[in-house]
Amino acid sequence: MLLEAALGDDRGGSYFHQEPLTGEQEKLFDRFIAQRAAHWPVDKIIGRKGFYKYDFAVSRDVLSPRPETEILVEEGLNICRQNKCTGILEFGTGSGCILISLLAELPQAEGVGVDISESALEIARKNACNIGVDKRIRFVRTSWFAENIVDELGSGFDVVVSNPPYIPSGEIAALDEEVKSFDPLTALDGGADGLRDYRRITGLAAQILAPGGWLIFEAGAGQAADIVAIGEANGFNRQAVVCDLSGIERCIILKK
């Protein structure tokens, strides 16, 4: 993969490359190898990561898309198709991989992506353009702890989806080097118990979702029951808890 990136060929051409590398290609390849040896994730070196059906541009300003997060797209699509949902909001859009993947499969839907980082939103805008959904998506730079956020975002959404920070603050230091040093801390640190952002987003979703609207969360291992309890305390009903391929309760589906 690093060689393909150095060659500028992402079609597997490196397997059949017969010519010596140019000086510039060799220099770039050596740099990529040095970065990988220093624990840079491959996707952060080459600037892209496959997720669901598409390649997404990534950088150190966004959380690298994870395969287990694709379950949010799959469940979100089922809900949107069965209920003819057309208005989707994502809290913590990052690279935009979840929201953009949903909109790419739902041509009648429109979306709003919220993130506090302008650098992340620049990546998300690039991805929206590359995948062809930029005309149906609006990005908003704000914190979900901002007092006026409901006025800024509006209401009447059919679906709110989020993969919020959920690592307890005290566990950040023990994470793999490739995660804690190359994914943004704001996308990892979920407060003392890892549930801080679930509480806030659930409260906001209760205000901005239309009656009968859906709230879809990604959860960390062992957090599902607590997230369902937070939802129920805010007037939501548990609809499903879906396990990922590792058997972890990963996707929490709540209904207003």
Q: Which residues of the chain have pLDDT under 50?
A: none
Does the pTM exceed 0.75?
yes
**DSSP annotation of 245:** T
The Cα 134–Cα 41 span in angstroms is: 28
What ranges do the domains of the chain cover?
2-38, 61-255
Question: pLDDT at position 21, please?
Answer: 84
Question: pLDDT at position 19, please?
Answer: 79
SS3 content of the chain, % helix, strand, coil (to 5): 45, 20, 35
Using an 8 Å Cβ cutoff, are 235 and 227 in contact? no
- Multiple choice CATH, 61-255, 3.40.50.150, 3.65.10.10, 3.40.50.300, 1.10.260.40: 3.40.50.150
Question: pLDDT at position 16, please?
Answer: 65
**SS3 label, residue 210:** strand
Using an 8 Å Cβ cutoff, are 38 and 214 in contact? no
Query: How far is CA 43 from each of CA 5, 30, 32, 48, 122, rounded to the nearest angstrom?
Result: 11, 16, 11, 5, 17
Tokens representing 30 are 């050596």
